[in-house]
Structure formats: C-alpha cells, structure tokens
Amino acid sequence: MDRIAADYALDALPEELHPEPFTAPALHLFGRQDDVVGYENGLALRDHYPRGSFVVLDGAGHNVHLEQPGITAALIRDWLARIDR
C-alpha cells in the first residue's frame, strides 16, 4: 500500500502550482462519505474556481461516478448544457 500511495500522491496541488484563479467553467463532484480526501477539502477550493459548480452527493465516497452513476451523468449533462451561457 505504501508503494501505491507514493505513486498516487501529488507533489503539489494544482492550485498551489497555479495560484491564479481558474476562470473557465469547472464541475466539482464530491462524495459526502469520501474518506480519501473529504468533500470539505474540495469545497475549500471554491474561491480558486470563480465559475465552478460544486456538488456534494450523500451516499457516495471517493468514486462518485461509480457509486452514483445516474445522478453523476445527469449533473454532467446539465453542466455541459450550461457552460456556454
């Protein structure tokens, strides 16, 4: 597990490498039961993404797209329909 974790971990967060706000549309989906990073950490980045949409799904962990595929697909479709507005 240590070897996997060493290959998986980022040396620095993208927001640290690029401190200027990301001004393009962005969709952030989090699982409330994520025990890998936690949804609070993701929500704390909201100021870095002024055009970001942030969603926390109850009943999902780190793999939101696998644990809640229907609602994830619906959210992505809705977001894609709105990004050009």
Domain boundaries, the chain: 2-82
Average pLDDT over residues 68-81: 96
Q: Residue 55: name the closest of 21, 83, 27 by CA.
A: 27
Look up the CATH superfamily of 2-82: Alpha/Beta hydrolase fold, catalytic domain (3.40.50.1820)
Measured between alpha carbons, how far is 54 from 60 in angstroms, rounded to an integer? Answer: 15
pLDDT over 70 (residue 35): yes
Average pLDDT over residues 61-85: 94
Measured between alpha carbons, how far is 2 from 70 in angstroms, rounded to an integer? Answer: 33
Tens of pLDDT, residue by residue over 5-22, are 666 666 777 788 888 999
Measured between alpha carbons, how far is 63 from 53 in angstroms, rounded to an integer? Answer: 18
What pLDDT does 13 receive? 76
Q: Residue 29: name the closest of 9, 54, 51 by CA.
A: 54
pLDDT over 90 (residue 85): no
